[in-house]
Amino acid sequence: MKAMRNLALEAWMREHGYSANALAEAVNQAVDRLRGRPGSHDGASVRAWKSGRIRWPHAVTRLALEEVTGLPITDLGFVPRGRVAPAPAASEQEESDMKRRTLVGGIAAVAAAAAPGSSTRRIGMGDVHRLQHRFAEIIASDHRHGGQLGIEQKAAALADEALNLQNSGSASQRVRANLYASAAAFRSSAMWAAIDGGRYDIAKAHMREAQALAEMSGDQAIKFRIWSHTGTMYRHLGRPADALAANDVARSLHITRRDPLFACLGHARHAATLGLTGDDRGVKRLLGCARDSFESADPDVVRPVWMTPVRDGAELETLSLAAHLRLGNYPQAEAHAHRSLTLLAPQMLRDRAINTARLAQAQLGQGAEEAAVTAAKQIPVDAATRHARVSRTLRQFTTALGSLAPDSTAARAWDDHTATSRRTAPSET
């Protein structure tokens, strides 16, 4: 018997703009969230569902399809095994009429579910995926600019948008959990932008809301991010005891046992905080643990977009640089600075500026004034004048240079450079 096409699935894909490959990718990601490893579907799998050759996918695939679409599996046109399929049409005309009625009905149902203000609106994973796309845009802005008030405000607004979706229609428990996770992710980015910009009181307010949303979501990855950022915030505030306590919360989450890359980040951030306490032995031990975890992590596991610098190894080098710089281990700090600058992706402009400033500090700590000034002058003017952490690091560099070699050629060259930078700095408008 000829397989009947799954017109309901085709209608949903058409309405929501999914190609076969895009739906396969979304299902694979949903499978990963359900069982801890991604699915293996591809465009051919989806075409088999559409053609009717596969009428009832495996259980985990069915759950993943329901998560992606927000619809029961039978509403997507799939038929349980053992159930009698609809009888074939008596003629080609009848078959054509039936297909047209099914297609129009499917599109109408999807459109009704998506209509704003409709009492039957169904919130699905398609809505979550759109939010996740916006989250990736926030992360990209942070990597390029970092700490800007505009990024903080946009992230906070998107957190509110994710929460508003909760009240705009019906949704499965899984979708609601993902909406809370999205809201927590946006709020954590607002928190991080405030930390990065030195707006610590505002960062604490974002932190409290982000932590509450993360608890409602149950998402381990976003819980880790928030508590890890909390540790960083207290580290920047010069409160190492609070920073270490927050880091311990992040490091105790079971995601660090399931995925060594999270353990790597937790160990490295803890080491950076221990640098404030002068614990040289503790720093070296934790950085060794971080390195071991990094080397044992599976690079092919699908992780949140904000973990990309960790996966690339750049974040481990950055945090190692910060830890050794605080300890006054300048040769080690310089080595980590060079490695971090090699590993940082081109779009990581904020981190490149900060690590270049730290490189200059490490070289100055070894008495290499000329090399230090040469490095510091490579930092773009807008980052040097508008980014809080870069500006603070360069002020520290200027003070140290003035103390160590106030009348040197390097110091005069740096004074000339900073004076020119102030004149040519972009305005805040």
Highest mean pLDDT among 175-179, 268-272, 307-311: 268-272
Burial of 36 (0-12, 13-18, 19+ CB in 10 A): exposed
pLDDT at 12: 85
pLDDT at 264: 97
What the block records as the tokens of 56 is: 């009832």
Q: Render pLDDT for 340-389 as a digit per residue (tens, 0 to 9).
A: 999 998 889 999 999 999 999 999 999 999 999 999 999 998 888 888 88
Q: Where are the domains of the chain?
A: 7-82+101-111, 122-234
The mean per-residue pLDDT over the stretch 286-308 comes to 93
What the block records as the tokens of 327 is: 């300890």
pLDDT at 101: 39
Q: Are 67 and 125 in contact (CB under 8 A)?
A: yes
The mean per-residue pLDDT over the stretch 54-74 comes to 85
pLDDT at 66: 84
The mean per-residue pLDDT over the stretch 2-17 comes to 83
pLDDT over 60 at 116, yes or no: no
The mean per-residue pLDDT over the stretch 40-62 comes to 89
Ranking 193-197, 301-305, 385-389, 408-412 by mean pLDDT, the lowest is 385-389
Higher pLDDT, 70 or 261: 261
Residue 269: which of 290, 285, 293, 299 has the closest Cα? 290
Question: What letters, b where the CB count within 10 A reaches 16 and e where it falls short, cover 134-155?
Answer: bbeebbebbbebbbbeebbebb
pLDDT over 70 at 421, yes or no: yes
pLDDT over 50 at 91, yes or no: no
pLDDT over 50 at 302, yes or no: yes
pLDDT at 82: 60
The mean per-residue pLDDT over the stretch 139-165 comes to 90
pLDDT over 90 at 122, yes or no: no
pLDDT at 2: 60
Q: Render pLDDT for 192-246 as a digit per residue (tens, 0 to 9).
A: 999 999 999 999 999 999 999 999 999 999 999 999 999 999 999 999 999 999 9
State the average pLDDT for the chain. 86
Burial of 90 (0-12, 13-18, 19+ CB in 10 A): exposed
Higher pLDDT, 426 or 39: 39
Q: Render pLDDT for 246-269 as a digit per residue (tens, 0 to 9).
A: 999 999 999 999 999 999 999 999
The mean per-residue pLDDT over the stretch 36-53 comes to 88
Q: Are 279 and 323 in contact (CB under 8 A)?
A: no
Residue 378: which of 402, 397, 405, 400 has the closest Cα? 397
pLDDT at 1: 52
CA separation for the pair 365, 147 (Å, rounded): 27
pLDDT at 144: 84
Model confidence band, residue 105 (pLDDT cutoffs 50, 70, 90) = very low
The mean per-residue pLDDT over the stretch 56-76 comes to 85
pLDDT over 60 at 87, yes or no: no
pLDDT over 90 at 157, yes or no: yes
- pTM value is 0.71
pLDDT over 70 at 301, yes or no: yes
pLDDT over 60 at 146, yes or no: yes
pLDDT over 60 at 106, yes or no: no
Model confidence band, residue 4 (pLDDT cutoffs 50, 70, 90) = confident
The mean per-residue pLDDT over the stretch 105-112 comes to 36
